[in-house]
Amino acid sequence: MQFNYDQLEIPVGSQLLIHDVDWETFNQWLDETMDTRRLPRISYSQGRVEFMVPGAEHEDDRSIIGDLVKVLLEEMDIEFRALASKTLRSSKAKKAVEADECFYIQHETEVRGKKKIHLDFDSPPDLAIEIDITSRTHFDNYEKLGVPELWRFDGKELTILILENGSYLESQISRQFPKLPIKQIIPEYLEKSKQDGRNKTMKAFRQWLAENLS
């Protein structure tokens, strides 16, 4: 089977599934399009390739939540590397997925300055974020790729999933930020941004962190 990426036409907010694609074909196509491909986003599992084009609401939420995490890490003076929708893949696991946002935190020094990151050789991101409004979160992919913490936002509620013994368990507390009420503050300030705007919200969030980080 041969992919012809330029011929794909997928409506915004929709998915396209292609079945019976072997890993070698998919991996070769990924290598060939890595530097030129933008949208749609992709995932691969058990011979199935999914292409997804996110809608405006999805992208707005992704951007603001990612910015909130960056502000949080900056205010905590923690070095990080944000890779947005970096393709996470492993030939060993034969899995690939593009998170909406992902962050290297504890393992930031391992990938600092690296132009290419491949999970056959590098650690997975410490935190991945999925906005599950127009797409479906691929928990199995993240589990097999070994991502320690996954956040899923469904438009209203933030779910925190922690990897334990190869499977995700829902948690009330973030492993990355155990002293903060992440499940409450992220949706709260996301909603605030829709009323007050992005810059005013980030300033308010920095102020809240200054008062609550100790």
- Is residue 185 a part of any domain in this protein? yes
Q: What is the pLDDT of residue 134?
A: 52
For residue 59, what pLDDT is reported?
Answer: 80
Give the CATH number, domain containing residue 123: 3.90.1570.10
Parts of the chain with a pLDDT under 50: 1, 36
How confident is the model at residue 8, as a pLDDT? Answer: 54
Q: Assess if residue 194 is contained within a domain.
A: yes
Q: What pLDDT, on a 0 to 100 scale, did the predictor assign at position 1? A: 47
The answer to whether residue 32 sits within a structural domain is no
Tell me, yes or no, whether 158 lies in a domain.
yes
Q: What is the amino acid identity at position 213?
A: L
Sheet holding 158-164, edge to edge: 81-82, 101-104, 127-131, 149-153, 158-164, 167-171
pLDDT digits (tens, 9 = 90+) for 5-39: 555 555 555 566 677 777 777 776 666 665 545 55
Residue 90 belongs to a domain: yes
Contacts by residues 135-140 (CB-CB < 8 Å, ≥ 24 positions apart): 135/15, 135/41, 135/52, 135/54, 135/58, 136/15, 138/43, 138/45, 138/50, 138/97, 139/168, 140/45, 140/95
User: In the chain, how many domains are there?
Assistant: 1
Range of the domain at 171: 55-212
Question: What percentage of the chain has pLDDT greater than the value 70?
Answer: 75
Q: Which of 28, 147, 135 is nearest to 86 (CA)?
A: 147
Q: Does any domain span residue 67?
A: yes
What's residue 54's pLDDT?
63
The reply to whether 22 falls in a domain is no
Report if residue 31 sits inside a domain: no
